[in-house]
Amino acid sequence: MIFFLRTFEEKEVQAKLQLLLVRNSHVASEHRVCSALQKRGGTMSLMKKSVVIGLVVLGVFGLFLAASQKAMVEAADVAVIEAKVVPAAHIPTFDATAYIAGHGGHLAILNMKTMKPPTDIEKDRIVLAEAGSEMEGKIAGMSFEEVKKAGGSHGQAIMMEGGKKVLVAGTLAGNVYKIDLATGKKEGPFKVGEKFCGAIAGPDGNVYFQDMADGNVYVWDAKALKTVDKMPVGKAVCGIQWTKNLGKAYITDMPLGVVYVYDWKTKKEIKQISSPEMTFIHQTRMTPDGKYLWVSAPNEFDPGLKPGTHKSQIIVIDTATDTIAQRIILPDDVRPHDFAFSADGKYAFISSRTYGDDSTVNIMDMKNHNLVGKVSVCASCHKPAGVEVKIDKGSPLLCGIEIDWHKK
């Protein structure tokens, strides 16, 4: 908490210093005019001084106004879309199975052929570890809540290995597990990092884990069961995606609300994308056509980890220009954490937190951005089994979503 407060206080101080330098430069200019007149044997009347000062003030105001107008034009270029809840007569179904991570330390299993909520505490989940909260332990190198349970699942990726599908999952303890989806056999834990958010299948066949504690991206070889690389990127990174030509990578930083753009060949940062509407962000996904990057911006907090005042939304980035093209405003009880898309690009699946007694998967029609379906993924199983959530203020929190498409 102190780290974030200091960071934003320092930025305010820097801004004030810059303003002071501008003021001093204008005062110095006035002083030079006066000195020049005195050297020529002349004097400057009070009226003339007032005129000079007035012109300086008008100049500064003009610059400020121009900058403000430029900002307004840029903001106006961003399309703002309000997602409406328009339930379909029949919820869309798909030939697939979704695996959704959560702080409970297990992966919820959603049969997308029926889109019925999971209810069987034995069959409808894969247990990895104990429960754990992302606010426990370290975030961005700073300690917050005391670690009560070194568990909690957060992200997972499906990989092909020897003709079989395996699920590679990371936890909030920085551990990695490997599950054979055909047999259910589980390997692990393998200690890799400190506190994982996303787990993404990379273009090189490795799994990329984003760490919220140390800001590194860990590259893990799932076959050799070892870390093959580590990239220091930000403070508390959450997601990574690549352009289709692998020219660029995008990495999200949760508390800073920044998307880092990397030249993937040189592994060097080339840009940062930010917005006043990205105050606290999570994972990110590329649309199937590769044209747009979706960034989850539930905005639970404002800068300095103050209570959030911005709407829950999806930030859509144009990957051709690396600028924000759209902001999709979501209902207050839909706080996105991760996304998945149907292969044809017709539907988006949003893994969402309500911060109430449930977390849900919401289905969005990509044509009109309507929310056409919602599936309970936590309460539907917890309540019949009498499960009481004792972390995260009693709210079951979902994280990453990974979909196993049965036919391709």
Q: What pLDDT is stored for residue 56 in this prediction?
A: 43
pLDDT of residue 139: 66
pLDDT tens-digit readout, 341-352: 999 999 999 999
Interval 368-384: pLDDT, tens: 999 999 999 998 988 88
- Tokens standing for residue 257: 């609300």
Query: 124 with 265, same domain?
Result: yes
Query: Based on the number of CB atoms within 10 Å of its own CB, is 186 exposed (0-12), middle (13-18) or buried (19 or more)?
Result: middle
C-alpha to C-alpha distance for 198 and 218, rounded to whole angstroms = 11
Least reliable range by pLDDT among 58-67, 217-226, 232-241, 251-260: 58-67
| Domain stop point among 22, 56, 77 | 77
pLDDT at 88: 96
- Indicate the number of domains in the chain: 2
Are 51 and 174 in the same domain?
Answer: no
208 and 304 housed in the same domain: yes
What dihedral angle (degrees, nearest 10) is formed by the CA atoms of 281, 285, 289, 291? 30
Alpha-carbon distance of 401 to 280, in angstroms, equals 19
In this structure, the answer to whether residues 175 and 46 fall within a common structural domain is no
The dihedral sign for the CA sequence 242, 248, 250, 251: positive
Are 287 and 387 part of one and the same domain? Answer: yes
Can you give the pLDDT at residue 332?
Answer: 96
Same domain, residue pair 71 and 86 = no
Domain extent, residue 389, equals 82-405
- 173 plus 93 within the same structural domain: yes
- 103 and 48, same structural domain? no
Same domain? 136 vs 12? no
CATH number at residue 162: 2.130.10.10
pLDDT, tens only, 267-317: 999 999 999 999 999 999 999 999 999 999 999 999 888 999 999 999 999
Instruction: Write down which residue in 56, 77, 98 finishes a domain.
Output: 77
The H or E element spanning position 130 is none
User: What proportion of the chain, given as a percentage, has pLDDT over 70?
Assistant: 77
Range with lowest mean pLDDT among 138-142, 171-175, 253-257 = 138-142
Among 20, 55, 77, identify where a domain stops: 77
361 in the same domain as 309: yes
The reply to whether 192 and 282 lie within a common domain is: yes
CA distance 348 to 345: 7
pLDDT at 1: 35
How far lies 266's CA from each of 221, 234, 271, in Å?
Answer: 21, 17, 13
| In the predicted structure, residue 94 carries a pLDDT above the cut 70 | yes
Identify whether residues 382 and 369 lie together within a single domain. yes
